[in-house]
Chains A and B, each alone.
Chain A
Amino acid sequence: MVLRSLVSVVDDDESVRESLPDLIREFGFTAQSFSSAEEFLDSDYVGVTRCLILDVAMPGMSGPDLQRELTRRRHAIPIIFITAHRDDRVRSRVLDEGAVNFLFKPFSDSALLDALKTAFAEVEP
């Protein structure tokens, strides 16, 4: 159950990595944070992550790049994109490619919770 409810957060912003896992834990999930897409891919958590909260713009591999890489590796992890950039083109593209939701920072805790519920509904029908 613990492993099945693991939410991984990938964001280069430290304050996000600090604050978001705490909130996610308050929702009752397990949380793990990574500072880059590469770090996440290199970790042991790729296979056990049940939901990915992913920043769009990061140095090196971007959020959408990681989405494509996971698809290529056939890891069907539900992804909730978060970004501080209001870029609707990126939003519609990643949603087309299967992302669960696309949240613009700053977002409310209820918006995040709704997105998480949707994500888990997808993997736990």
Chain B
Amino acid sequence: MMTQLGLQGITAATDLIDVLETVEMPIVVVRRDFTIGGFNSAAACALNLLPSHMGRTCRDIPMLAGVPRLEQECNEVMAGGMESRVDLRDGARWFVIRISPHRKGNRQVAGTVLTFTNITAFRASTDQAIYEREFTKAILNTVADPLVVLSADQRIQSGNRAFYTMFALTRDQTQGLPLYEMGNGAFGPLRAQLDEMLAGNHAFQLVEVDHVFAGDQERTLIVNAHPLSLPGHSERRILVTFQDITARKQAEAAKDLRSEEELRRSEAFLAKVQQLSSTGGFYWWPAAGKTIWTEQVYRVFDLDPAAPLTTELRQSRIHPDDLPAHREAIQRAIGEARDFEYEVRLLMPDKSVKYIHSLAQPTRDAEGNLLYVGAVQDVTQHRRTEEALGKLRSELAHVARFSTLGTLTASIAHEVNQPLSGILTNASTCLRMLDADPPNVEGARETARRTIRDAHRASEVITRLRALFMKKSDAVESFDLNEATREVIALSRSELQRNRVLLRLELADDLPPVTGDRVQLQQVILNLLLNASDAMRSVDDRPRQAVITTARDEGDGVRLTVQDTGQGLGRQPIEKIFEPFFTTKDDGMGIGLAVSRSIIESHRGRIWAKPNDGPGATFSFSIPRSANGAHLKGP
């Protein structure tokens, strides 16, 4: 084998040749003229060299021809006597070629010796290591959260960019610093846990750390740690990560603050609403006899919220007259889980009375116990208002009557003065006849008779007036509507005359008697009649005519109608004219029709108006003959 190589000058040294043959490293001897001078087996194998390549120039060897600068390097090594290296890449294989001068015994450089070191495996692992390192570095520096690697004794080895930025320190300033000494000891508490973790006792538990950084910025960090084991190394390291949750904490705090504020506001709002509406709320567990009241209920009951809420205390406020009914309502609510609603009076310590409206709904609490959720409202004001309103309404009816009286003053004066005038005239005539010589006794008797008649007439007028204006009206009686109508006309005749109103009566002969408040109904008729008269005051181009008609109405009712030829209803909605204080008159109060409607409705009847086909309007009311069930307590 050695002969094949034909290494000059080495042939004698058989041992050395053997040595070279056993070397796995390819070796090629190159002559000064860049021709192959010899090679070992490893070289033959690695570079595909054949014995025939001996003496051929390296430029003809494909593997060597591809090595850049090989010939130049060889020349320089021969000239300078210094070793050199070049890289050879053959596909996936990498070699480092060491070019050494080949000295002969006389120290003359006869050429070069190329030794090939296969670095493929090394190259790959280095590449991988570099790649991994760079990749990891890139990741770490890209990660927004600060990271730091500690040695086993918790000293800082290296951190990512975010770490140095956060602490406003450089790599050099932190290198070798124990983490637990940083930040004025803020990270001190980590030390023991990190030791435990490294000892393998347990995994690291997240730690929240508040730390004041440069610029007085307090930040909250969540610190996490993982042990790092390096394969092939017994030494362990620690990766510590920091998550800055300051912004999240602040947002949460703000949200907490906000929702707390909202809650407070809605509570204040509810309290205000309860107070404004005089309504309080309660929970009541009948089985346990337990009650919870809101502040407003205490306020309504005028009890101290601090005092224990016993049944006795609650019932001490209930009006004695209402206590039995109250207890009964409570018992019913306990017995059957149903909605309940009742009113009760409270007797306050100052002897004032409050009206309380209470309603509740049954429900179940988390344990399934019957629970009532309810509201308590102080309706005293409401009740008082209702009472006052009722009183006001009846006073209004009085006012309406007396304003009618005012309208009728002239008419009434006329009705009274007329018979008085007759009395005076007749009495004077009577005296004169008796004083005559001879006395005219027959004439005197006649005039005395007329005097008495006129006195009766005057008395009748007064009686009618008293009935219509002085008498308290609440008497329900059966009466003839035609007769009542005639009485009203008698009183207002003069008023109609003054307004030049021609009145025509079309009263039904077969009208059945009606039951109701005669005086009130007369007031309505009078009101309709005077309205008709007023409506025609400005009419000059046609007769001022009013027609009063009575008739049986459909069913069992009677109807009265007043028709005029006046100015009509105008453009306003017809329903409006029955509303209080609606008036088209300069001197009207606008309560006449409103009171009339109130009276008719209290007789279970109805009142309406409609425009005539020609000029004017027609007002009608219809009432059942018998007003059974009607509310005749007053309009």
Contacts and interface: CB of A to CB of B under 8 A. Distances in A.
Interface stretch (B93-101, B319-327, B427-435, B465-473): B427-435
B566 interface: no
A13 B413 CA distance: 15
A5 to B, nearest CB: 17
Residues of B in contact with A, size category: 20 to 34
Contact of A23 (B414, B432, B436, B498): B432
Interface stretch (B347-355, B415-423, B621-629): B415-423
A78 to B, nearest CB: 20
Contacts of B447: 19, 22
B457 A84 contact: no
Contacts of A74: none
B410 A107 contact: no
Contact of B419 (A15, A20, A85): A15
Residue of A62, A87, A106, A107 with highest tally of chain B CB at under 10 A: A106
Interface in A81-101: 82, 84-87
Contacts, number: 82
Nearest to B446: A22
A59 B429 contact: no
Interface in A35-79: 57-59, 62
Contact of A20 (B415, B420, B425): B425
A75 B494 CA distance: 29
Contact of A85 (B413, B424, B443, B502): B413
Q: Which of B424, B447, B450 has the most CB of A within 10 A?
A: B424
Contacts of B432: 23, 26, 109
Nearest to A25: B429
Given A22-B443, A22-B447, A85-B413, A13 B425 contact: no
A26 B497 contact: no
B415 to A, nearest CB: 8
B414 A109 contact: no
B426 interface: yes
A16 B422 contact: yes
Contacts of A108: 424, 428
Contact of A18 (B420, B424, B450): B450
Nearest to B457: A15
Contacts of B418: 13, 15-16, 84, 105
Contact of A84 (B429, B443, B494): B494
A58 B424 CA distance: 21
Given A16-B422, A59-B502, A105 B428 contact: no
B454 interface: yes
A76 B453 CA distance: 37
A18 B451 CA distance: 11
Nearest to B451: A19
Contact of A106 (B420, B450, B453, B502): B420
Closest CB pairs A-B (n = 6): A109-B428, A105-B421, A106-B421, A84-B417, A15-B422, A84-B414
23 contacts: A15-B418, A15-B419, A16-B422, A16-B425, A18-B422, A19-B422, A19-B426, A19-B454, A22-B429, A26-B429, A59-B497, A84-B414, A84-B417, A84-B418, A84-B421, A85-B413, A85-B414, A105-B421, A106-B420, A106-B422, A106-B424, A109-B428, A109-B429
Interface of A: 13, 15-16, 18-20, 22-23, 26, 57-59, 62, 82, 84-87, 104-109
